[in-house]
Amino acid sequence: MEPERRSRLPLIVLGYALSIVFLAWVLRDFHVVKALREIANVDWKWVILAILLDVMSYGVQALRWKLLLTPFGRVRLTRSIRAVFAGLFANIVFPLRPGEFLRSYLLSNSEKITLGRILGSVGVERLVDLVIATASLGVVSLFVELPNRFNRLADILGVVTLVVISIVVSLIFYLEMKIGDNPPETVSRRGFRGRAMEALVALHAMGTAPSFYPALLTSVFMPLCQIGALWSMMRAYGLDLPFLAAVVVVLIINLGISLPNAPANVGSYQFFCVLGLSVFQVDKTSATGFSFFAFVMLTLPFLVLGFIALIRSGLSLRSMREKVGGMPGEIARSSGRP
């Protein structure tokens, strides 16, 4: 076994173990006949709307990614969309969500932007998403009576977000004072200090570019589309819940699937979906049936679209497997270049 794969083995085992535990809990006391009756009464118009909104959310993500990378070169929207969907396909097929690295590699190759800068933009995406999730949870808690465990989670998330933002703003201010308006095109240092400086320069470039503000605005529409998709799926399934319920459930699912996961987040998606619906006193069998139905309906389109995007990117299933398996080593090697 290659060193990179061996180093990930404990996380892979943990992801599968959590998946099995979550599925065991979700399926306990599950009434199959009742769930089948509910699925038979699904309103497919709402299902189609949900799928369209979910696909649109990742189109919005690709647009945001393009805007974030504007300081480093012209990124074609079609290429960023293709990379995002190919990455989603990798997340469905492999554990531990390697699609973030795969999409970065594909866009770096096609748009001739260094992999370090691409990965830096992905880090900025995650930071923006964290801020939006924290703010959303805070606003929702004003209108929805959440259990104490969720209120504690909101407090912890708020503190973590505040600390991370403070660090990032301080770093950008430090670079603004040090390099001013003329950041270096390349960093000559090798090793860890060189990689750290390259990442900071990239962060400074993205955070001070005019395109950063449209990227922030675009970021709001991505979770809105995802929330709209889940709410539409709730309507399709016959769950008479308000829009704010979909906000809560999406936030809980997104936080939950950040844990080490099996392919396609099987198990964790269902567990955290049921957990979120329990806040609104949804019957466990109905919540479980809905979690599986929504999961299948919102995953299948990306299996098809992602496979098409992968082939269009010039990768086969075999080459994707090899690329994903050796990705950590390749990232380390590329980061070490002068």
Q: What is the pLDDT along the chain (338 residues), one digit of tens a residue?
A: 455 566 678 888 988 999 999 999 999 989 999 999 999 999 999 999 999 999 999 999 999 999 999 999 899 999 999 999 999 999 999 988 899 999 999 999 999 998 888 988 998 898 889 888 888 888 887 888 877 777 777 777 778 777 877 887 777 677 667 655 555 555 555 555 656 666 677 777 888 889 999 999 999 999 999 999 999 999 999 999 999 999 999 999 998 888 778 899 999 999 999 999 999 999 999 999 999 999 999 999 999 999 999 999 988 888 888 777 766 555 555 544 43
In angstroms, the CA 282 to CA 74 distance is 48
In angstroms, the CA 186 to CA 338 distance is 8
Cβ-Cβ contacts under 8 Å for 264 (sequence gap 6 or more): 91, 92, 93, 295, 299
**Rounded (5°) CA angle 28-12-160:** 85
pLDDT at 336: 47
pLDDT at 27: 94
The predicted-structure confidence for 236-249, as pLDDT tens digits, reads as follows 999 999 999 999 99
In angstroms, the CA 301 to CA 90 distance is 14
191: left (phi over 0), alpha (psi -120 to 50) or beta: left
The string of DSSP codes covering 273-312 is HHHHHHTTT--HHHHHHHHHHHHHHHHHHHHHHHHHHHHH
pLDDT at 40: 94
pLDDT at 338: 39
In angstroms, the CA 145 to CA 143 distance is 7
pLDDT at 190: 53
Cβ-Cβ contacts under 8 Å for 266 (sequence gap 6 or more): 19, 23, 295
pTM score: 0.88
pLDDT at 259: 79
pLDDT at 123: 86
pLDDT at 17: 93
